[in-house]
Amino acid sequence: MAYPTGRHFLQIPGPTNVPEQVLRALAKPTIDHRGPEFKALALEVFAGCKRVFKTENQVVIYASSGTGAWEASLVNTLSPGDKVLMFETGHFATLWKNMALRLGLEVDFVPGDWRRGVDPAVVETKLAEDRGRRIKSVNVVHNETSTGCLSRIAEIRKAIDRAGHPALFMVDTISSLGSVDYRHDEWGVDVTVSCSQKGLMLPPGLGFNAISAKALAASQNARLPRSYWAWDEILAANKTGFFHSSPATNLLYGLREALRLLEEEGLENIVARHSRHGEATRRALKVWGLENLCLEPKEYSPILTTVVMPGNTGADRYRGVVLEKFNMSLGSGLGQLKDRVFRIGHLGEFNDLSLVGTLGGVEMGFSLAGVPHTKGGVAAAMEYLAGA
Ligand code: PLP
């Protein structure tokens, strides 16, 4: 294969492009994870994580993917047979539900059409109906990466409070943290699950649990088996700046640098940047005459846009053309959306010109693959970016 000149456009909604500074930080020599240099690194990233999750409590960091951090959230807080309220917002919500079932939990899985987020009114009704208080946790995916629909976490918190229900509230922020407004403490979330390869602009390999005092108290009585994921040993070791097993030292170097970059730009500016790029992408989509999978404007994801293929088929062939001709990876349709949609990731290490390049590849790909569309989407996005 000939050397592809220019940088690969990794425009899937995670893993995202890793900034040069982070790549360089990852390449530092590995150090003794029981020595003083490591302690300084760990204490710095612990403090930075608290600021990104917006919590005063310790954030547990695992050497794991996001799936591991999902498992940690469940096994640390729940017992066999506990009932969990989950919502079918898309592929990832379905996988988290499947994991809960495999762990021996009972799941009330509220059906959905994979085109919108969780309805806070349904949360309130479900909890109000649960007079025996059997539901032990409400689990929501903040940004459903398979569909491009957001769930409104602050409103769901209010719905739980209106129902006066004591269930824990767990939120998957795997593709929203560091890109979309998120506040663990203020929104009364008990366990926030996240990972490294999306808004944090790192390679895959770190999983996170931000934990409330209520979740920590629940973990004292939780009876699901756990060992590697158990919070108590990790938190005890973290107190002194260390880990109880070998940490992913080089990813922590990268995390320190990524947190520095996020803080330099400012979380509010980052959130505004992502909303602006989401809006520009949707303007392009409108001109192309193609459909956004997400149906609710207030739930449009700022970090990815899922495009429905005309005729509901051919997305994989189209993505193949874009990869071959323009060296750009677009996200595939997952689960029941396979081949029916493709996903444009516009998150992480990304700016106006990255978006124009991305949308340019998407529009040229339509012509080459024979996808019916109206030309001019990129021009509409550029006009918006130049004016806004
Ligand atoms: N949850 C969401 C919302 C995701 O987007 C993903 C992965 O893309 C996961 C969970 C699973 O994370 P991982 O693939 O890192 O295990």
Quote the CA–CA distance of 256 and 250 in Å, as a whole number.
10
How far is the centre of ligand 1, averaged over its atoms, from the C-alpha of 91 (Å)?
10
What does pLDDT average to over the chain? Answer: 98
Contact assessment for residue 232 and residue 60, using Cβ atoms and an 8 Å cutoff: no
Q: Determine if ligand 1 sits within 6 Å of the CB of residue 78.
A: no
Contact assessment for residue 80 and residue 224, using Cβ atoms and an 8 Å cutoff: yes
Residue 210: which H helix or E strand, with range?
Answer: strand 206-211
Backbone torsion region of residue 33, taken as left when φ is above 0, otherwise alpha when ψ lies between -120 and 50, otherwise beta: alpha
* Residue owning the nearest CA to atom 5 of ligand 1: 145
Q: Which residue has the tokens 């479900």?
A: 126
Q: Determine if ligand 1 sits within 6 Å of the CB of residue 300.
A: no
Can you tell me whether residue 168 is helix, strand or coil? Answer: strand
* Residue owning the nearest CA to atom 14 of ligand 1: 66
Q: Which residue has the tokens 């085109």?
A: 115
How far is the centre of ligand 1, averaged over its atoms, from the C-alpha of 191 (Å)?
16
Predicted pLDDT of residue 388: 76
Cα angle 95, 99, 103; round to 5: 170
What's the whole-number mean pLDDT along residues 38-65? 98
Judged against a pLDDT cut of 90, whether residue 4 lies above it is answered with no
Quote the CA–CA distance of 203 and 191 in Å, as a whole number.
23
Can you tell me whether residue 229 is helix, strand or coil? Answer: coil
**In terms of DSSP bridges, do strands 191-195 and 168-172 run parallel, antiparallel, or are they unpaired?**
parallel
- Could you give the domains of the chain? 20-263 (3.40.640.10), 267-387 (3.90.1150.10)
Predicted pLDDT of residue 171: 99
CB neighbour list of residue 347: distance below 8 Å, 6 or more residues apart: 13, 14, 16, 175, 179, 198, 199, 274, 302, 303, 304
Quote the CA–CA distance of 285 and 296 in Å, as a whole number.
15
What's the whole-number mean pLDDT along residues 138-167? 98
* Residue owning the nearest CA to atom 12 of ligand 1: 66
Q: What is the pLDDT of residues 87-139, one digit of tens each?
A: 999 999 999 999 999 999 999 999 999 999 999 999 999 999 999 999 999 99
Q: What is the pLDDT of residues 177-224, one digit of tens each?
A: 999 999 999 999 999 999 999 999 999 999 999 999 999 999 999 999
Q: Determine if ligand 1 sits within 6 Å of the CB of residue 172.
A: yes
What's the whole-number mean pLDDT along residues 218-246? 97
Q: Which residues pair with 304 in a beta bridge?
A: 345
Q: What tokens were used for 23?
A: 């790549």
Q: Determine if ligand 1 sits within 6 Å of the CB of residue 171.
A: no
Q: Determine if ligand 1 sits within 6 Å of the CB of residue 148.
A: no
Judged against a pLDDT cut of 80, whether residue 1 lies above it is answered with no
What's the whole-number mean pLDDT along residues 64-92? 98
Residue 319: which H helix or E strand, with range?
Answer: helix 315-326
Q: Which residue has the tokens 């990233």?
A: 45
Helices (H) and strands (E) in the chain, counts: 13, 14
Predicted pLDDT of residue 3: 82
Predicted pLDDT of residue 2: 79
Predicted pLDDT of residue 213: 98
